[in-house]
Structure 1
Amino acid sequence: MKNILLMGAGKIGEMISTMLAISGDYHVTVADRDDAALARMPKHDGISTLKLDATDAGAMDAALKGKFAVLSACPYTMTKIIAPAAKKAGVHYLDLTEDVASTRLVKELAEGANSAFIPQCGLAPGFISIVAYDMAKKFDKLRNVHMRVGALPKYPSNALKYNLTWSTDGLINEYCNPCEAIVNGRLTEVPPLEEVEHFSLDGMEYEAFNTSGGLGTLCETLSGKVDNLNYRTVRYPGHRDILKLLLQDLRLSERQDLMKDIFEHALPITLQDVVLVFVTVTGMKDGRFTQETYAHKVYAKDIGGKRFSAIQITTSAGICTVLDLLANGKLPQKGFVRQEDVNFDDFIVNRFGSAYAQAVEVGA
């Protein structure tokens, strides 16, 4: 049994600890400074809780001692504290961040490390990169790689047509920061909330627009190999226009703490959600200009006797699968590991990754 330190006792932390504990192969110590959050963690022999302030270096050192890996389910702002502590302790490090600057820090820390540093292990970035790269490798020459992901309420009931499903900090961060892309073969940055497109899938209408971080390291990996590469977040039509009003016209992007308070006060969480994963790749294959599409939906379901949301399941399945592949020697054991280094076939048959395979497949 491998001992894991899980930083963060939020919605995703609850799902990660449940998945790992019921597997029987991991003991998870969930650490947080919030007593109420720790009290909500599942009651299981494979789960312990620890009140811990990550800024206390001595306490972090003690918590990491003897651990196989530390998993960060904290806001991206904590990366600069948790990742260096992992390197100091010689412990494997995995996180869920979508923040570009945080990933660059992790990559720097990975240089010369005796343990693996694997950021961006969630849904987007994370699983979406694994899918897209697996598809891209099958083409002789790439033209376009388009990646679209949405975590949406099944029953939208407000003007935003949205409910909180994961980290509010991460949500606002991806709406506000510049977005990496490859345009006409050139690595560049494009503005968030722009380049809106509309499409239908499985009888539903959606919009998609630029958000930050979803590409992970794919821009670097596919640089010089693809003409156009981009990532856009999927929402119900009308969502983007309201976000532009709030963040740009009313300048709440400059007051993100206030924006977070507004969201968390006005938008309820929901366990009745759906995660949409939509990847389209075009290019030359066997002498023909070809398009291939991956379209998939994942819904909320019961795990370990409790209902969990689709975004909890997909995000947690990502990091738990990567951890499991690392523990079984199917990933490099030290240095920086990209999501593209994860083999799709290994991922989808894994006991945690199969959460994606068990979902409802939809036609494009």
Structure 2
Amino acid sequence: MRIENVAVFGLGKVGELVAHLLTRAGFKVVGFDSREREVPLLQTRVLDVADVTALREALSEVDAVVSCLPYHLNIAVAEAAHDTGAHYFDLTEDVPTTNRVIELSKDRPDSVFVPQCGLAPGLIGIVGASLAKSFDSIRSIELKVGALPQNPTGLLGYAFNWSAEGVVNEYLNDCEVLRSGERRMVPAMTEKERVVIGGIELEAALTSGGLGTMCQTYEGSVQRLDYKTMRYPGHFRQMHFLFEELNLRDERELVGRILVDAKPPVNDDVVYLHAAVEGIWEGQPFRKNHVRAYRPIEIDGQGWRAISWTTAASAVAVVELVANGTLPATGFVRQEDISLTDLLATKSGQLFDTHGKIDA
């Protein structure tokens, strides 16, 4: 089934731009949200995804859906896509959601299911896997992303430009990693290390969900694989105090509200991306790095935060790759199966090629 008509579920900052980039890439787009939304040049409708009948009716009118909803709503959308035959894409970092999407893909081989099309998982995995392809053998794959304010204040040095619910889950859920070539689960916010990008000092610690399916893919062939989130120095110490010493680990919703109130979103953000692969390359030990710093940009005259455009562009580029036949149009597609070169060649992926490079 060709992809011409696409539904976008969730018209927040990322969803609105996903719809715009899809239109820019030549798709016919309709946007759905839980409340009335007016988006320039976009047909919008109100939809409650808990309404099973209305959800399936909406998807029966399109070829594909990109879900930009909170992670806990995605399974309902994926199941509706399965029932109607629509191709399915999402931005989730939630492991149980992805596992359900994999199950659905096996039962519906004539549609494509591509979850985790954001930054982490998503673009960072595409970058890491593309670096790894040129090695004779791989010792380690280290992946890191940090979505941060350019001008941090306070002890946390942070701003919640992304879902607080998602950030709290990443900080508290155990992390899947590869150690000595085997999959293991380890606590989040551990194994801290110092990182410097363009002269900016950061700290990185393990967080959950950022690897997607990569541990299954590379088990037995890579000795060490992990994903870490980057923050300004001291951040994780403060989060440890909040969750452990104040005993708020089991109060995730409350913590999310407190944090967003204390550190609301900002427009002057930056997304740091750091991927490194070590191993044998052309017969010799070698390390390859891919380091970027993405800042807000204008697209067709409108300004967009770094976290919004990087997430949206990565997702839409994957839709483009399925639509043009570069990626399969059936079954489950892993992010690590996607070539960075192919992604950069799409209309949306070109944004990554023209922005983000670090001055030497």
TM-score, normalised to structure 2, is 0.96
Cα-to-partner distance string for 1:137-196 (whole Å, 9 max, x where unaligned): 111111011011111111112321111112222111111111110011111011111111
Give the counterpart letter for 2:226 in structure 1.
N
1:254 is paired with a residue whose SS is coil
1:91 aligns with 2:86: yes
Q: Distance in 1 between matches of 2:276 and 2:262?
A: 35
1:81 aligns with 2:76: yes
Q: Deviations over 1:219-274 (max 9, x none)?
A: 11111111100110001001111111112222323111111211222222112111
Given the alignment, which residue of 66, 78, 89 partners 1:71? 66
SS in 2 for 1:361: coil
1-structure distance, mates of 2:215, 2:340: 19
Kindly report which structure 2 residues correspond to 1:315-354, keeping only aligned pairs within 5 A, or say none.
Answer: 315-354=311-350
Take 2:248 and 2:319, find their aligned partners in 1: how far apart are those partners? 37
Report the Cα offset of residue 303 of structure 1.
1.2
Aligned-pair identity (%): 38
CA pair 363-186 structure 1, distance change in 2 beyond 3 A:
farther
Distance in 2, matches of 1:360 and 1:85, equals 37
Gaps of 5+ in 2: none
Q: Which of 203, 217, 224 is residue 220 of structure 2 equivalent to? A: 224
The equivalent of 1:201 in structure 2 is: 197
Of stretches 224-233 and 8-17 in structure 1, the one that deviates more from structure 2 is: 8-17
Q: Distance in 2 between matches of 1:344 and 1:22?
A: 21
Does 2:153 align with 1:157?
yes
CA-to-aligned-CA distance 1:110-148 (integer Å, 9 cap, x gap): 103120000000111001111101111111111011011
2:18 to 2, 16, 19: 16
How far apart are residue 212 of structure 1 and its match? 0.5
Distance 2:359 2:133 in 1: 23
* Residue identity opposite 1:234 in structure 2: M
Q: Give the Cα–Cα distance (whole angstroms) in 1 for the partners of residues 351 and 156 of structure 2.
A: 28
Q: Classify the secondary structure of the residue corresponding to 2:107.
A: coil
Deviation at 1:34, TM superposition (A): 2.5
Matched to 2:103, the amino acid is: E
User: What is the alpha-carbon distance in structure 1 between the residues aligned to residue 341 and residue 29 of structure 2?
Assistant: 27
Unaligned runs of 5+ in 1: none
1:310 match:
306
Aligned match of 2:43 in 42, 48, 65? Answer: 48
Aligned length: 357
Q: Select the residue among 182, 186, 190 that pairs with 1:186.
A: 182
Give 1:2's match in structure 2, choosing from 1, 4, 26: 4
Secondary structure, counterpart of 1:296 in structure 2: strand
Please, what is the CA RMSD of the aligned residues? 1.3
Q: Does structure 2 conserve the Cα–Cα contact (< 8 Å) formed by 1:271 and 1:307?
A: no
Separation in structure 2 between the aligned mates of residue 87 and residue 182 of structure 1, nearest angstrom: 32
- Of 261, 272, 275, which residue of structure 1 is paired with 2:271? 275
For 1:318 and 1:190, locate their aligned partners in 2 and report how far apart those are by CA, in whole Å: 28
Q: Counterpart in 2 of 1:31?
A: 32
**1:358 paired residue among 334, 350, 354:** 354
Structure 2 Cα separation of the partners of residues 339 and 332 of structure 1: 12
Report the Cα offset of residue 360 of structure 1: 3.1
Q: Which moved more, 1:88-97 or 1:182-191?
A: 182-191
Which one of the candidate residues 256, 272, 286 is aligned to 1:260?
Answer: 256
Q: Distance in 1 between matches of 2:356 and 2:325?
A: 30
What residue number does 1:128 align with?
124
CA deviations over 1:9-58 (Å, ceiling 9, x no partner): 212112111212233x12222112123xx24xx311xx111111101111
For 1:296 and 1:112, how far apart are their aligned partners in 2? 39
Q: Which amino acid aligns with 2:48?
A: D
Amino acid at match of 2:18: I
Cα deviation 1:197-232 (Å, max 9, x = unaligned): 012121110000010011111111111111100110
